[in-house]
Amino acid sequence: MADDGARVLVLTGTGEAAFCAGADLKAIDTLGPRLELPEGPLGFTRLASPKPTIAAVSGWCLAGGFELALWCDLRVATPSARFGFTERRFGVPLIDGGTQRLPRIVGQGRALDLVISGRVIDVDEAERFGLITERVPAAGHVERALEMAEAIAAFPQDTLLSDRRAVLEGAGLPLVQGLALEERLGRGRHETAVQGAARFAGGEGRGAQGAGI
């Protein structure tokens, strides 16, 4: 996250079987001290990433691993992806942001369903929930995430990061305050906007080709 040369962070697992299945419950006795870590038990889940993040998910994405995926801005998933808070079955609490981030992504009702039941959902249901950004073919998750990352990295970063900040920081604000935040951040990027408008007037980026990710 501290690498200024990297504009987008992609998280993925090793191989196709799992993104991350969470912490080792056999080592549950070590959990207590890690609760006090300011960055979060899994390493960075209580920190806010300063740049866009993408989770490339294949296979099991459970418990703390699910919380890692929720930490990301976008989630790309293969048909084998499975999501759930399976620690519910063993009385282990969610401590890496899951109770706070999931409702912001799928809404409180659906979040409570997954948090309370501990059930595992497949990629079809995850897509219906709005949990995943894009479904990709088997073994295509990393390639697609990298394609998205390259497209995002090619945009003017000043306004991209400013707009991302407005979305994230404005999520818990009343509408009037959120609009004020958006206006303040946008006004601070006036010079970037002027330069971009000049490039557009010169013919750059017109038409749908190359737009979006």
Catalytic positions: 67, 87
Name every residue whose Cβ is closer than 8 Å to that of residue 195 and which is 6 or more positions away in sequence: none
Using a CB cutoff of 8 Å and minimum separation of 24, what contacts does 193-198 make? 193/159, 196/156, 196/159
Distance of CA 74 to the CA centre of its chain: 4
Nearest CA to 184 among 205, 203, 201, 170? 170
- Would you say 57 and 141 are in contact if contact means Cβ atoms under 8 Å apart? yes
Please report the sign of the dihedral spanned by the C-alpha atoms of residue 62, residue 68, residue 71, residue 77.
negative
For residues 181 and 151, give the distance between their C-alpha atoms in angstroms, rounded to a whole number: 26
